[in-house]
Structure 1
Amino acid sequence: MRFPPHITRVGAAAAVLSALLVGGTVGATPASAAVGSVCYSDLPSQAYDTLDLIDQGGPFPYSQDGTVFSNREGVLPSEPSGYYHEYTVITPGSSTRGARRIVAGEQYQEDYYTSDHYATFDLIDFGC
């Protein structure tokens, strides 16, 4: 088992909890309603590749990778515009980008995984 590259990211869970307590809700949807957690070891192998590329600063396979994720769905904790950036997690056999993404938050360096094109997110737990 390889050592997760983001293991040095500290305080992500505390930051998310703080954002949820301070940020409250976005629209009528509580930010925590669709945010769960996932162990790093439970991610698809392509997500490891994406996280490695994020750590290296690219190059990324799609021009949209690294662009601002605006959180229009209001699922993630409310943050200022430009806080979140999205990256494609390649879906084998798909002729398009597919539905899988990593959305990274800048200040607290938290990473979220979605397999359903932003309907739900899981905060990646690098400690398990």
Structure 2
Amino acid sequence: MQPVARGALVATVTISASVWSVPALAREPLPAVEAEAALPVVTWAELPSQARKTYRLILAGGPFPYEKDGTVFGNRERLLPRKPRGHYREYTVPTPGSRDRGARRMVCAGEVPKEPEACFYTEDHYASFRRVAP
């Protein structure tokens, strides 16, 4: 061990071997909580009409009104279940009166965009999600 000088103070840094022998369970990521099951649910009837229209466009494969529609959603907020990059795609749900894309989105999961495994609706630009009931 080498002493570390800080002005007039000399400190010795000691790292205990027990720090490096953390049990295997502590090093491994904890099993992911199934975030999808924990999310609130929104029924088809409860969705705004613009979200229902966006969902129908998703199933039809477009055409979509916004260039960003159908692009990969990164799930940086980690509110949706953790999946490999490219598993989620985002789509704009138009907001009446908004001068831009607004805050509402539909995010769908799955390998085939036209056949989503699940879809999630957010009206606050990814701050919260509700799972769309099948």
- The interval holding the TM-score normalised by the smaller chain is 0.7 to 0.9
Equivalent residue pairs, number? 101
Residues 36 and 131 of structure 2 are in contact (CA less than 8 Å); yes or no, is this contact kept in structure 1?
A: no
Structure 2: which 5+ runs fail to align?
Answer: 1-29
Tell me the CA shift for residue 24 of structure 1: 3.2
Tell me the CA shift for residue 36 of structure 1: 1.3
> Which one has a bigger Cα radius of gyration?
2
Q: 1 or 2 for the larger relative contact order (CA 8 Å, sep ≥6)?
A: 1
Q: State the TM-score, normalized to the length of structure 1.
A: 0.72
Partner of 1:67: 71
Residues 74 and 86 of structure 2 are in contact (CA less than 8 Å); yes or no, is this contact kept in structure 1?
A: yes
Residues 102 and 113 of structure 1 are in contact (CA less than 8 Å); yes or no, is this contact kept in structure 2?
A: yes
Residues 84 and 105 of structure 1 are in contact (CA less than 8 Å); yes or no, is this contact kept in structure 2?
A: yes
Question: Structure 1 residues 33, 104: closer, same or farther in 2, change over 3 A?
Answer: closer
Residues 34 and 120 of structure 1 are in contact (CA less than 8 Å); yes or no, is this contact kept in structure 2?
A: no
Calculate percent identity across the aligned residue pairs.
Answer: 52
Residues 101 and 117 of structure 1 are in contact (CA less than 8 Å); yes or no, is this contact kept in structure 2?
A: yes
Could you list the structure 1 runs, at least 4 aligned residues long, displaced by more than 6 angstroms after superposition.
Answer: none
Question: Structure 1 residues 59, 102: closer, same or farther in 2, change over 3 A?
Answer: same
Structure 1: which 5+ runs fail to align?
Answer: 1-20, 26-30
Deviations 1:7-35 (A, max 9, x none): xxxxxxxxxxxxxx95238xxxxx46972
| Aligned-partner Cα distance in 1 for 2:125–2:119 | 15
Tell me the CA shift for residue 47 of structure 1: 0.5
